[in-house]
Structure 1
Amino acid sequence: MNTAIKYPLAIASVFLWTGFVCAISFMEAWLKFKAPGVSLAIGLGIGRLVFNVLNKVEWVLAFAIIINLLSLGGTLQASFIFLFIPLILLSLQTFWLLPALDIRAEMHIQALPVLPSNLHIYYIMAEGLKVLSLLIFSIQLFKFQQP
């Protein structure tokens, strides 16, 4: 019986990526505002820092997955669409959503008027879809462990 894991770095990276997103996007993002003494400006400053670092960590984990799959002879099969979805969403967050949210946060911090926006809703929806896709992808990775 072969018990070797075919894509160990990819499997570990998928679960780390999912855990980071769940912990930060679904817990830290709103909990920091409940802490005593955390004003809107301080919370937004913390959020900008944390989400920009999270974004960089996500890219490292995404590249680790891709490198592990390709270096061990993995093929990016049609069923791996559930890897491409998070990569597309991460790209949208990196180049559109996070910069736009950073601008809005800075405007709040500077006490400038900020018009209503759906950007946070888009970000939350993207995070939910990203987590769902990563979980489905992780199941597929385990299926590809079969000899």
Structure 2
Amino acid sequence: MAILWLGLLLGVSFLATPVKFEAVSLALPVALDVGRVTFALLAKVEWLFTATIVVAILLSPPPRLLRWSCFGALTLVLLVQALWLLPALDARVAAILAGGAVAPTNHHLLYVVAELAKALALLTLSGEALWSLSGRNAGCGRSAPASVASLPSDPAALRFQGN
């Protein structure tokens, strides 16, 4: 789930959004309105990812400290975005769409920093999950899969027994 979320985040926040402002035929108010709608939907989808990741962490074997730390960081960033940044940015877009002038702020920069923090947490969570699935951390308190554990320990027994 973290890898899917990371892909969505990179595609929307770091690819599609900046590119739309490069389209000369797209007026700034329209681009801002599309961005407002896009990020509102992205925020809802991210909460669904959050719920699925919590379930995945609860069902995963220990150790879980890194997973919970990444999840906590993701949740904190989502809360800051949902309760402060997105409403502030939406108000700015509404003022621009109404023809008003808005004073410069750091809200967009803070949003980009928040997206980078989410990307880093998701990358770490994805990497840890892949590492866990690879079985390379068997010495970290995890047992080998049953198919590996049932192999004979004598190398001679592993040779092909042909006719």
Shorter-chain TM band:
0.7 to 0.9
TM value normalised by structure 1: 0.84
Residue in 1 aligned with 2:89? 101
| RMSD (Å), alpha carbons | 1.6
Task: Give the residue type in structure 2 aligned to 1:28.
Answer: A
Query: Which residue among 62, 67, 74 is the counterpart of 2:55?
Result: 67
With over 3 angstroms needed to count, the CA separation of the structure-2 counterparts of 1:46 and 1:76, relative to structure 1, is farther
Q: How far apart, in 1, do the equivalents of 2:63 and 2:80 lie?
A: 21
Alignment pair present for 1:131 and 2:119? yes
Query: Match of 1:78?
Result: 65
Q: Deviations over 1:51-93 (max 9, x none)?
A: 00011111111111111222x2545832221221111101111
Q: Which residue of 1 aligns with 2:18?
A: 30
Aligned position for 1:40? 28
Q: Report % sequence identity.
A: 32
The TM-score normalised by the length of structure 2 is 0.76
Q: Computing the radius of gyration over CA atoms, which structure comes out larger, 1 or 2?
A: 2
- Separation in 2 of the partners of 1:77 and 1:103? 39
Taking a change above 3 Å as real, the CA distance of residues 86 and 34 of structure 1, as seen in their structure-2 partners, is same
- Higher helix proportion: 1
Residue 5 of structure 1 is matched in structure 2 by: none
Aligned to 2:107: 119
Q: Distance in 1 between matches of 2:62 and 2:34?
A: 40
Structure 2: distance between partners of 1:117 and 1:43: 19
Cα distance per residue 1:101-121 (max 9 Å; x no partner) = 000011111111201100000
SS at match of 2:21: helix
CA distance in 2, matches of 1:73, 1:33: 41
Residues in 2 aligned to 1:69 and 1:118: alpha-carbon distance in whole angstroms: 34
Structure 1 residues without counterparts, runs of 5 or longer = 1-12
Length, aligned pairs only? 134
Structure 2 partner of 1:7: none
Contact 1:107 1:114 in 2 (8 A): yes
Secondary structure of the corresponding residue to residue 124 of structure 2: helix
